[in-house]
Amino acid sequence: MGVGLLLTGFVSYHARAEEVEMTVGAVAPDFSLVDQNGTTRTLARFRNRWVVLYFYPKDDTPGCTQEACRFRDDLPALRKLDAEVLGVSVDNPESHARFSGKHGLPFPLLADTDGKVARQYGALWSLAFIRFAKRHTFIIDPQGKIAKIYRQVRPEIHSREVIEDLQALQRLAR
């Protein structure tokens, strides 16, 4: 048995997406996480507002930077829709502070260092002792329910998709 085959077997056995089946209409799991400024944030605090909760793998990597900067650039349009953006990864608050400062990100980046929240949302990927948040996004309505789920995200267009879907969801809610 070659080393490549052994490694492939190890990876397929140990790498797993820790899937939880979140569905549209389900109550979004609440959380309490620290952001890049040391402020504890809870989902409950954003009740009565739309929330764009986006999970991303790693601070300051190309796709994650592109996605975060698109949300930054589109934040005025999102706020006009009464939406708050919250980014979540398993990086620590210090890493989030560097990433946020470097790119001028004006929204909370939440540190889910143990992966508990990502796991609750079905957005955790594990390989032995390595964990990453998968690039998933959830639009949460003002009542705290999941209104839209994105499991396939293209960082370069994602914030525009979210804006269009928020507009459509808000039209339906009237």
- Mean per-residue pLDDT of the chain: 90
Q: What is the pLDDT of residues 133-142, one digit of tens each?
A: 999 999 999 9
Instruction: Respond yes or no: is residue 64 known to be catalytic.
Output: yes
Interior angle at CA 126, CA 84 and CA 72, nearest 5: 25
The pLDDT of residue 39 is above 70? yes
**pLDDT average, residue stretch 28-45:** 97
| Strand arrangement, sheet containing 15-18 | 15-18, 124-127, 130-133
Domain coordinates in residue numbering, the chain: 17-173
Query: Mean per-residue pLDDT for 84-113?
Result: 98
pTM (predicted TM-score): 0.88
Q: Which of 28, 33, 51, 64 is catalytic?
A: 64
pLDDT of residue 129: 81
In angstroms, rounded to a whole number, what is the distance separating the alpha carbons of residues 109 and 95? 10
Q: How confident is the model at residue 21 (pLDDT cuts 50, 70, 90)?
A: confident
The percent of residues in the chain predicted with pLDDT above 70, rounded, is 89
Domain 17-173 listed as CATH 3.40.30.10: yes
At position 79, the amino acid (one-letter code) is R
3-state secondary structure 4-73: HHHHHHHHHHHEEEECCCCCCCCECCCCEEEECCCCEEEHHHHCCCEEEEEECCCCCCHHHHHHHHHHHH
pLDDT of residue 20: 63
What mean pLDDT comes out for the span 43-70?
97
| Predicted local confidence at residue 9, as pLDDT | 43
